[in-house]
Structure formats: structure tokens, C-alpha cells
Structure 1
Amino acid sequence: MRVQLHCIARIHVVYLKEVDLLASLMLQSSSRRAPFLLDPQRQNGGLV
């Protein structure tokens, strides 16, 4: 039983990492399209 829980926990950690990576990629691509929606300061820094 403990081994099964351990495997589930490991899969969960990997899943969270993948979701985190996906979220950051989506944020990056959307910030390229519309940075002013996310962070006006970052847009100003990118323009200067």
C-alpha cells in the first residue's frame, strides 16, 4: 500500500511540474501577444 501511495505521489509531482511548465509557456506566449494585459511595467521595460 505504501509503495502504491509513493508511486501516486511521484506521478503527482511530475504532473504538477508539467502543468507549471505549460502555464509558464502559455503566459510567455500570451505576454508576447498582449503584454499590457498582464503587466504594464513589463511592456514599458520591453519597449525601452
Structure 2
Amino acid sequence: MNDELIESVKGKFLLAMPGLPDPNFSQTVTCMCEHNESGALGFIVNKV
């Protein structure tokens, strides 16, 4: 595993890049609830 320090995105919003081809994440805003060495959890806040 990489020993490089990675900044947590917990409590931040992730914006999908324009042109993202994945229909699950295209044009989404995701609120990140957890992000640590065990994994990540976020909720898409702008899709029904």
C-alpha cells in the first residue's frame, strides 16, 4: 500500500467533471460523509 498522505474529503462536496461518461455520476454533486483508510461514503444530492 502507498504510504503517501492523502487529504480527506469528508464534509466536502465533489462535483462531477463535465463530460463524465458514467450515467450514474454524470452532472452530479456528491456530499462526502466519510473518507478514510477504510473507504469512502457519499450521497448524491442533486438527483432523484
Question: Do the two structures share a fold, i.e. TM-score over 0.5?
Answer: no
What TM-score bracket applies, with the shorter chain setting the length?
under 0.3
Q: Which protein is richer in helix relative to its size? A: 1
TM-score (norm 1): 0.24
Q: TM-score, normalised by structure 2?
A: 0.24
Bigger relative contact order (CA 8 A; separation at least 6)? 2
Larger Rg: 1
More strand per residue: 1 or 2? 2
